[in-house]
Amino acid sequence: MDTNRKIIKTKQKINKSKLQYARTKEKERKFDVHRKIQLGGLVIKAKIDNESKSIILGALIHAMEEINSDNKMKNFYKAKGDAAFMGHLEK
């Protein structure tokens, strides 16, 4: 009888762990989806959503190359982005 009780307790622990794992994976998935939606919103806010995916990706790659090679460009892009978020970007 004692062995059966241990088996039941072990199965309960396993099921609890599986449930916690599933909840963690769901939270990670939701976070990832939310992040991707935010990034898509940035493309729309930058008003480049009417361009092809290749142009958008190319522009982002080019900007990242500039950011990585020149700290002044990083500061420039940051100032430009901050202004856009504050609504002070030139039309």
> What count of other Cβ atoms lies within 10 Å of the Cβ of residue 74?
15
Contacts of 77 (CB under 8 A, 6+ apart): 63, 66, 67
The DSSP element (H or E) to which 74 belongs, if any, is: helix 71-86
Q: Taking Cα atoms as reference points, which of 21, 40, 18, 17 lies closest to residue 29?
A: 21
Kindly report, residue by residue over 11-56, the tens digit of the pLDDT. Answer: 999 999 999 999 999 999 999 999 999 999 999 999 999 999 999 9
CA dist 21 and 85 (Å) reads: 37
Specify the pTM: 0.68
Each domain of the chain, given as residue ranges in start order, spans 1-45, 50-91
